Structure 1
Amino acid sequence: MELRQLRYFVAVAEEGGFGRAAERLTIVQSAVSQQIRRLERELGLPLFNRSTRHVRLSAAGERLLVEARTVLAAADRTRQVAADIAAGTDGGLRLGAIHGPGDRLYRALVELAAGAPRLRVRLEQAPPTDRLAAVRSGELDAALVRAVTAAPGLRLIPVWSDPLYVALPADHALADEPLLRLEHLADLPLRLAARDGNPPFHDLVLDACRRAGTEPPPGPPFTSLRQTLIDIGTDAPSWTVFYEVSGLPPAPRTALRPLTGLALTTSLAVQAGPLTPALKRLLEALRSVASSEATGYRMGSGTYGLE
């Protein structure tokens, strides 16, 4: 059974004859008659009562007309959904997500939904290396990653940049500086999370120190950011570097200062090749939110963290 045969069957039933159905379908009458006979043979039922003057539905034809219309409507809906998926307004996206800053990602998803309400985005949380591996394998359609500058086999598209901040003892002489550079911190022990936890960020900081001609001595172990900020305010002088996320209050006796000369770039990692329409829409939404967001140092109103 072919959709074409069902379409011919419905046309003959609605037009009341093979000739008028052929005109509606813009094909010759013999082709309509041939396909209806094939359909009747396959179903083992007569669909029409034929006479020299009239073509009327048989009892079986009346019943099957309902089903044929349902099948054709479903086929039309399938074609429409496929067209919407191809246009990026329907379907699904599996996105490797990151925390923060603020609600930027969720505002981007709201903007995406406004233009493509039937496009569903499923967020997946995983470490950076696992996110990239999932994009390579096709388990994810894309992933947001911070500080990644190279990902073999993948394409990295920058979507936004964020400032970095330094935490150091509030009573340290450098705490009086409104902005800090890595050169200022060369002699102060650095608390940096182990590379295994976040290789891109770890490498970003150390590579920037080397480019600045500094090699700060390693400080005490970095535990969590919250505990590390507390320790910086109470232990021997040291410092750490972090970026803004959400939900962390300032630590007592710890100064937070902007770090100049170094920013944190977030990129959308996708498979090599042209972007699908859905990914193009996602990228536009991410960049739109980033461009409309007022960035800058928000001491006192902002919150900070480290992935």
Structure 2
Amino acid sequence: MELRHLRYFVAVVEEQSFTKAAEKLFIAQPPLSRQIQNLETEMGALLFERGSRPLKPTAVGYFFYQQAVKLLASADQMKSITMREGIIKKTMTIGFGGSLLYGLLPRVVYLFRQQQPYLKIKLVQMNAMEQIDALKEGRIDASFGRVRISDPAIKRILLREEPLMVAVHSSHALAAKKQGVKLEEIVEEHVLLYPKLPKPSFSAQMKGLFSEYGLEPKNLTVVDDIQLALGLAAAGEGLCIVPESAKTVQFKHLNYIPILDDDAVSPVFLIIRNADHSEYIRSLLDSVYQVYDLEAIKYDRQIF
């Protein structure tokens, strides 16, 4: 007698039908009937009343059902405890670029934690190059970033293309353009970018974006991080280009205006080792798409 035989028997008792039990178990009815007959032969007793509609267990069958339920529950508990003890020692370390904390990353990680309750999850802020090195050296298991860096050991999964915005003081003339602005309208302004180091970086991407449109900002300042850039913009020091998710950062008198150019987007990547096909990575990717679905964000689901 195997546990699967007990599961078959319990399903028939609870469904009161061989046909319904077979559907529930995703097996054909004839093999299920044979398994129950073999179980009765092994037990040396009839477990079901023949000809009853709906199907009912005999007195012996009902006693056997009660014991089978207890045994299956114990087996499931033993499996759960064993898995928990094995997984609790597993830690998944996830790197991320700082600006992603203003977007959906916290919700993604929170959902991932709920779906992997026995997995210890550690978050580490890293710049783009640090993420790649840490992945290759095994210090992190996955990372979220915006910068395209090619490396044969690394796989980038494009999650979405996030629109860009201009953060500007409410007193600035461009603040009135609620519908959006073009890059050519801000090229003569004092433009604030981040981070200063290292390269490649988000600031390098933004410089490249201007170049794609044949533009070159004449008054450009690159600062250490997004917080400083937004703070300076709120002080009226200049305009700051940021991903759309950064508008959750609210300074008084700071307005966020969409950039209307088609290529004014910032990619968001899940970055992993090229040979990594673990279930944890799959689960993390599923968490991303579940959050995107809840937020009605368009994306092309990547096959992992």
CA distance in 2, matches of 1:112, 1:118: 11
Q: Which of these residues, 264, 267, 270, is aligned with residue 265 of structure 1?
A: 267
**What is the alpha-carbon distance in structure 1 between the residues aligned to residue 199 and residue 135 of structure 2?**
18
- 1:136 CA displacement: 1.0
CA distance in 1, matches of 2:186, 2:241: 11
Between the aligned partners of 1:224 and 1:139, the Cα distance in structure 2 is 24
Question: Whole-Å Cα distance in 2 between the matches of residues 256 and 176 of structure 1?
Answer: 10
Match in the other structure for 1:275: 277
Sort the Cα spacing of 1:288 and 1:199 in 2 relative to 1 into closer, same or farther, 3 A. Answer: same
Q: Counterpart of 1:97?
A: 96
The aligned amino acid for 2:278 is T
CA distance in 1, matches of 2:270, 2:235: 39
Aligned twin of 2:166? 166
2:295 to 275, 282, 293: 293
Compute the displacement of 1:231 (Å): 4.3
Change (3 A) 1:240 1:107: closer
Matched AA of 1:271? R
Larger Rg: 1
Percent of pairs identical after alignment?
A: 18
How far apart are the structure 2 equivalents of 1:169 and 1:175?
A: 7
Paired residue total: 217
CA distance in 2 between counterparts of 1:258 and 1:96 reads 28
- The residue aligned with 1:125 is 125
> What is the SS of the residue equivalent to 2:193?
coil
Question: In the TM superposition, what are the counterparts of 1:140-179 in structure 2 within 5 Å?
Answer: 140-177=140-177, 178-179=179-180
Q: 1:267, CA displacement in angstroms?
A: 0.8
Cα distance change, pair 268–90 in 1 and its aligned pair in 2 (3 A): farther
Matched residues in 2 for 1:173 and 1:202: separation?
A: 24
| SS of corresponding position for 2:143 | strand
Aligned 8 A contact 1:160 1:290 in 2: no
Deviations, residues 81-132 of structure 1 (Å, cap 9, x unaligned): 49x87xxx98331211344444733332333234332222222223332122
Query: Given the two structures, how large is their TM-score scaled by the length of structure 2?
Result: 0.59
* SS, match of residue 191 in structure 2: coil
Superposed CA deviations along residues 212-259 of structure 1, whole A, max 9, x for unmatched, are: 1111113356366555445446667x422123348733243x442112
Aligned-partner Cα distance in 1 for 2:246–2:217? 25
Give the equivalent residue in structure 1 for 2:203.
202
SS in 2 for 1:267: strand
Structure 2 gap segments, 5+ residues each: 1-77, 299-304
Partner of 1:248: 249
Aligned mates of 1:120, 1:283 — CA distance in 2:
17
Structure 1, 267-276 or 204-213: larger mean CA deviation: 267-276
Shift in CA distance, 242/197, structure 1 to aligned 2, threshold 3 Å: farther
Note if contact 1:168-1:255 (Cα within 8 Å) is conserved in structure 2: yes
Partner amino acid, structure 2, of 1:159 = L
> What is the CA–CA distance in structure 2 between the aligned matches of 1:274 and 1:227, rounded to whole Å?
36
Secondary structure of the structure 2 residue equivalent to 1:144:
strand
Q: What is the letter of the counterpart of residue 193 of structure 2?
A: L
Once residues 90 and 115 of structure 1 are traced to their aligned partners in structure 2, the CA distance between those partners, rounded to angstroms, is 17
1:127 touches 1:198 (CA, 8 Å); kept in 2? Answer: no
